[in-house]
C-alpha cells in the first residue's frame, strides 16, 4: 500500500501504519505528485506529476520510480506512451477493464491508457476521448462534449467515469454504455433561482471526486459534498 504524505511516498504494511520502505522521488526534481493509481495490468503504480507533464511508474520489485509516459513537453498527443504528450495530468484511476483513465488540466482532456498483454511490454498507448476540440462546457456524445480544466477522475459502480470539471464548477459523468457526457451537479451557468429553489449544489472549484460504497463525494473550496448520480 502506497501513502503520499508531506511530499514523501512510502510503502506501508497492511496495517497502513508501519513503513516498509521510502521511495526515492529525486527523478521528479521537486515536482509534486498529484495522484497515484495501481495498475493491475502493469503490476505497478502509475504516478502523475503535473508539473512534469509526464506519468511515472513504480513497482515493488525494483523500488524505483522511473519515467513511463510522456516526452515532458506540454501538449496532447496520443499513441505509444514514449511519444505521447500530456498537459498537467492531475487525476488517474483504473477501470474494471484495466484501463487507466486520466484528466489533463491544461488541455481540458479526458484520456485513457490501454494495454495489450499479448505483447511483452504491454504496449501501453494513450487515447483521447474528450478534449480534441478545445475547452468549454457541453454535454452529449464524446465527439461533441467539452471540459474546462478538470482535476480529478473516478469510476462509478457501473463502470462509468465521473469527473471533477474544475473550471466549469461541475461534476460530469461519461456513461460507459452510451459514451455520452452529462452534468450531474453544478455548472457554470447556474442561476441563483436554481440554487435556491431546485436544491442545486453550488460548487466552487471542485478538485477531488471520490467514490465510496457506491456513493459520490466531491471536495471543493467550500468543503466536502455528497452528490446524487441518478441512473440514466
Residues 10 and 115 in one domain: yes
The domain spanning residue 1 has which CATH number? 2.130.10.10
Please give the Cα distance from 68 to 58 (Å, whole number). 9
Minimum mean pLDDT range among 19-23, 27-31, 41-45: 19-23
pLDDT tier for residue 200 given thresholds of 50, 70 and 90: low
Last residue of some domain: 91, 114, 132? 132
Look at residue 168 and give its three-state secondary structure. helix
Element (H, E) at 219: strand 215-220
Question: Tens of pLDDT along 158-196?
Answer: 999 999 999 999 999 999 999 999 999 988 876 555 544
Number of domains in the chain: 2
- Average pLDDT (113-132) is 92
Mean pLDDT of the residues in the chain: 90
Residues 101 and 166 in one domain: no
- Report strand pairing: 79-80 vs 44-49: unpaired
Residue 219: CB atoms within 10 Å = 17
The distance of Cα 3 from the centroid of its chain, to the nearest Å, equals 17
Please give the Cα distance from 129 to 127 (Å, whole number). 6
- pLDDT value at residue 4: 74
Report if residue 4 sits inside a domain. Answer: yes
pTM for this predicted structure = 0.91
Q: Provide the CB-side half-sphere exposure for 199 (13 A, CA).
A: 4
Please give the Cα distance from 70 to 48 (Å, whole number). 11
Residues 163 and 105 in one domain: no
Residues 95 and 11 in one domain: yes
Can you give the residue range of the structural domain that contains 183? Answer: 159-231
* Helix%, strand%, coil% for the chain, nearest 5: 5, 45, 50
User: Which set of grid coordinates corresponds to residue 35?
Assistant: 495522484
Amino acid at each position: 500500500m502506497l501513502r503520499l504524505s508531506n511530499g514523501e511516498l512510502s510503502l506501508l504494511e497492511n496495517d497502513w501504519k508501519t513503513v516498509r520502505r521510502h521511495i526515492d522521488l529525486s527523478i521528479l526534481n521537486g515536482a509534486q505528485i498529484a495522484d497515484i493509481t495501481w495498475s493491475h495490468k502493469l503490476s505497478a503504480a502509475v504516478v502523475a506529476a503535473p508539473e512534469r507533464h509526464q506519468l511515472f511508474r513504480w513497482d515493488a520489485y525494483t523500488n524505483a520510480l522511473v519515467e513511463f509516459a510522456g516526452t515532458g513537453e506540454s501538449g496532447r498527443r496520443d499513441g505509444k506512451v514514449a511519444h505521447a504528450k500530456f498537459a498537467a495530468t492531475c487525476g488517474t484511476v483504473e477501470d474494471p477493464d484495466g484501463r487507466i483513465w486520466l484528466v489533463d488540466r491544461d488541455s481540458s482532456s479526458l484520456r485513457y491508457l490501454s494495454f495489450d498483454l499479448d505483447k511483452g511490454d504491454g504496449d501501453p498507448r494513450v487515447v483521447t476521448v474528450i478534449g480534441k476540440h478545445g475547452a468549454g462546457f457541453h454535454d452529449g456524445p464524446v465527439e461533441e462534449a467539452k471540459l474546462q480544466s478538470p482535476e480529478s477522475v473516478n469510476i462509478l459502480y457501473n463502470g462509468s467515469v465521473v469527473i471533477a470539471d474544475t473550471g466549469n464548477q461541475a461534476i460530469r459523468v461519461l456513461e460507459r454504455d452510451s459514451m455520452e457526457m452529462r452534468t450531474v451537479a453544478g455548472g457554470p451557468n447556474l442561476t441563483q433561482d436554481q440554487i435556491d429553489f431546485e436544491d442545486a449544489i453550488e460548487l466552487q472549484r471542485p478538485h477531488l471526486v471520490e467514490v465510496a460504497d457506491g456513493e459520490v463525494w466531491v471536495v471543493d473550496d467550500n468543503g466536502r459534498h455528497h452528490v446524487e448520480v441518478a441512473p440514466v
